[in-house]
Amino acid sequence: MGILHTYTVDVTWTGAGATGTTSYRAYSRDHEVRLDGKPSLLGSADPAFRGDPHRHSPEDLFVAALSQCHMLWFLHLASEAGVVVVAYSDAATATMRVEAHGAGQFTEVVLHPVVTVSGVGTAVDGTSDGHLMALHRRAHEYCFISRSVSVPVRIDPSPVRVTTATIT
């Protein structure tokens, strides 16, 4: 068995107001997510479920966790492969289906990474779209979050961007 890591997150509902859950419309979905030694995240439900659109929803954070995990593994694997990544962004998208009785699930998550690599002092073959796609596939195989979910997570990267700017 491998090394075990544990994670503790405190979630506190702050939306009871004066009446609590006397009806579905009577209470706020606002809550705080606290992790020891880190800034609190202000959470709520998705606006479609009476949540505050200015707060993070569990659905937002789920998609963000998949994107973050993939990015961190990709950067790790790129560094091992000698690929100098100087910029990375992802406009991840997800589709969630809600059924008539109210339950639902994500049906797909698509990561759209845009990777910029340095063309200065790096091997040209390390910056090909095919080579980076192989790194994306490996990152997906290693990502703890994607390995833990049943929803399909697809990687749809943009063509590699190469910069000749020097790294300072």
Q: Where do the domains of the chain lie?
A: 10-49, 58-163
The answer to whether domain 58-163 has CATH 3.30.460.10 is no
pTM (predicted TM-score): 0.86
Burial class (CB in 10 A: 0-12, 13-18, 19+), 51: buried
**Which range is least confidently modeled, 73-87, 119-133, 146-160?**
119-133
In tens, the pLDDT along 45-96 reads 999 999 999 999 999 999 999 999 999 999 999 999 999 999 999 999 999 9
Helix boundaries (H) for 18-142: 58-80, 129-142
